[in-house]
Amino acid sequence: MCLHGRRVTEYRFSRVADTDLKSIAEYTIQTFGVDQMSKYTNDILDTASKVAEKPSRCRSYITRSGDKFLRHNSGHHAFFC
């Protein structure tokens, strides 16, 4: 998909991640205002696009129970694929 000459890779968040994003946005508005919330959530969404375009940006991550994921840090947050 292209948007204004820029390739856009599709991705989707889990229900839990979507709920987290909404909570992050609400907290950021209450604490820092709408402008900071827009910047912060755009940074998160931009990182998600970059990870979707190039999953090799992620590192291998193994949980204590042995589940394997790919992880990419973004500020104080982490994306798991």
Number of domains, the chain:
1
Burial of 74 (0-12, 13-18, 19+ CB in 10 A): middle
What is the model's pLDDT at position 7? Answer: 54
pLDDT, tens digit, 9 for 90 and up, residues 24-79: 999 999 999 999 999 988 888 888 888 888 888 889 999 999 999 889 888 888 88
CATH code where residue 50 lies: 3.30.2310
Q: What is the domain extent for residue 29?
A: 2-80
Burial of 21 (0-12, 13-18, 19+ CB in 10 A): middle
Q: Which residues contact 37 (CB under 8 A, 6 or more apart)?
A: 25, 28, 29
Q: With H, G, I as helix, E, B as strand and everything else as coil, classify residue 79.
A: strand
Average pLDDT, the chain: 85
Is pTM beyond 0.85? Reply is: no
